[in-house]
Amino acid sequence: MDLGLRGRAAVVAGGSRGMGRATAESLAAEGCRVAVLARTQSDLRETEDALHELGSPDALGLPVDLRDQGQVGDAFAFLDERWGELNALVNAAGPIRTGRLDELSDEDWMRDYDLGVLTMVRAVRAALPLLRRATFARIVNLAAMSIRHQSPGLVSYTASKAALASASKNLARTLAPEGIIVNTICPGIVMSPVLADYVERAGDPSLPEGPLEAAYAVIERDFASSNDLGRVGLPEEVASVAVFLCSEQASFVVGAAVPVDGGSDF
């Protein structure tokens, strides 16, 4: 299937690692011009090089703290001058904090809400003029399966992702009359360096062989999070859905919260 993305312009906010990085790479492989917004210069340079190698005709790694409205605005002003339009915005940034209610301070809650919700709000607000100029425009936000399957050990993370999903639905209804389509992906547990480190620190010799299965066993044990496949996901399995939702083919999927979680009670 031709997704119609060759030469189109896309931004991945939080795109230097994990699911954001996988999405940026998949967009590059489709021939998109891809800009990645993230904080760490070394990650950005490496990501930019990888996107070029995958086929992006104009890959950019822009150093941006998504918690700073000024930096976000400057990045999109730069892209306005360079591209003049934007076909897709993927918001992949978010908190990674674990902790129960009595373990988290007010500052922890505010930081997670900022990372989980306001980073998206800032990016969308700055991107709207470019999205409105494009022949088609998509916004894809990454929430989490845990918004429907609660875990007390992820209380602030899940609350921020639930707020993101709610804001995304309202954005979808607001922007659909303009032809700007907004959808949300709700990933399950996906393999990442943070998760791999967590499994290693568990140091449990009884874990099953295979990194995806071992990670699943730890997550099921510690956070009561299970799925039908019995393994955690891969970032590229989420990215493939994100790229479709960024495309012209996703023209009648509006305001959806799509689970990509290996099968759950979502």
Least confident of 61-65, 195-199, 250-254: 195-199
Report pLDDT digits (tens) over 80-99: 999 999 999 999 998 877 78
Direct distance between the N- and C-terminal alpha carbons of the chain, in angstroms, rounded to an integer: 28
Tell which wins on pLDDT, 119 or 201: 119
Contact 90, 10 (CB under 8 A): yes
Chain centre to alpha carbon of residue 180:
18
Contact 102, 136 (CB under 8 A): no
Q: Max CA-CA distance within the chain?
A: 56
**Domain positions in the chain:** 9-188+234-257, 190-232
CB atoms inside a 10 Å sphere around CB 241: 19
pLDDT for the residue numbered 211: 87
Report pLDDT digits (tens) over 158-188: 999 999 999 999 999 999 999 999 999 999 9
- What is residue 12's three-state secondary structure? strand
The structure tokens listed for 153 are: 């050990």
Q: Kindly give the pairing relationship between strand 180-187 and strand 9-13.
A: unpaired
Kindly report the pTM of this predicted structure: 0.93
Domain 9-188+234-257, CATH among 3.40.50.2300, 3.40.50.720, 3.40.50.10330, 3.40.50.300 = 3.40.50.720
> In sequence order, what are the residues at sequence separation of 6 or more whose Cβ sits closer than 8 angstroms to the Cβ of residue 50?
25, 28
Report pLDDT digits (tens) over 179-222: 999 999 999 989 988 888 888 887 777 788 788 888 888 888 88
Q: What is the mean pLDDT of the chain?
A: 93
pLDDT for the residue numbered 237: 97
